[in-house]
Chain A
Amino acid sequence: MRWYIIRALLVKEWQRHLANRGGIALAVLLVTSAVLLSVFAPTEAAAGTGVVGGVHHCYIDFDRATPLIKHLQLNTPPELNGQIVFRDVGRAEKINGLIVYPTGTGALQVRQTFAAQATTGRDTLTVFVWHPDGDPAALAPYEAWFWRESRCYFAERARTKGLEQLPPEPAFDAQNDWTVIEAHKRFQDQIASAGATGASVVVPDLEVNRKGLGGKVLDFRAAVATGLVVFALYFTCVYLLPTLNCEERERGVLLAQALSPASPAEILGAKFLFYPTAGIILAATIAAIYKTDVLSSLFFWLSLLAVGGGFLGIGMTIATLARTQRAAFLGGMCYLLTISMLLLICSTNSIPFLSNLAVEYHGPRILHAALSGDVYPSHWLHLLGAVLLGATWVGAAAWLFRRRGWQ
Chain B
Amino acid sequence: MIRISGLRVLYGSFAAVDGLDLDIRRGELFGLLGPNGAGKSTTIRVLIGQRTPSAGTVTIAGHDVVRDWSRIKPQFGYVPDRENHFEEFTGRRNLEFFGQLYGVPRMRAQDVLEMVELDEAADLPVRGYSLGMRKKLLLARALLHEPQILYLDEPTANLDIHSAEVVHRILRERVQKGATVILTTHDMDEVEKLCDRVGIVCRGKLVALDSPFALKQSHIERKIDVIRNDGERFVFDLENERSRNELAALVSTGGAASLRTREFDFHATFLKLTGQSFE
Contact = CB atoms under 8 A, between A and B. Distances in A.
A353 interface: no
A270 to B, nearest CB: 11
Nearest to A260: B101
Contacts of B70: 263
Interface residues of A, number: 23
B98 A256 contact: yes
B102 interface: yes
Contacts of A258: 50
Nearest to B80: A252
Contact of B84 (A15, A19, A251, A261): A251
A334 interface: no
Contacts of B174: none
A252 B101 contact: no
B85 interface: yes
**Max count, chain A CB within 10 A of own CB: residue among B70, B83, B84:** B84
A253 B102 contact: no
A137 interface: no
Given A15-B93, A255-B50, A256-B141, A261 B102 contact: yes
Interface stretch (A4-12, A212-220, A392-400): A4-12
Contacts of A16: 86, 88-89
The residue among A7, A15, A19, A259 with the most chain B CB atoms within 10 A of its own CB is: A259
Nearest to B90: A19
Contact of A255 (B74, B84, B86, B89): B84
Contacts of B49: 259
Contact of B89 (A8, A15, A262): A15
A6 to B, nearest CB: 11
Given A251-B84, A252-B82, A261 B89 contact: no
Nearest to A2: B103
A251 B138 CA distance: 13
Nearest to B50: A255
Contact of B78 (A4, A259, A263, A407): A259
19 contacts: A5-B100, A5-B101, A20-B88, A251-B85, A251-B87, A252-B82, A252-B83, A256-B80, A256-B98, A259-B76, A259-B78, A260-B98, A260-B102, A261-B73, A261-B101, A261-B102, A261-B103, A262-B101, A263-B70
Interface of A: 4-5, 7-9, 12, 15-16, 19-20, 251-253, 255-263, 407
Sorted nearest first, the 4 A-B pairs with minimum C-beta distance are A252-B84, A19-B88, A8-B100, A260-B101
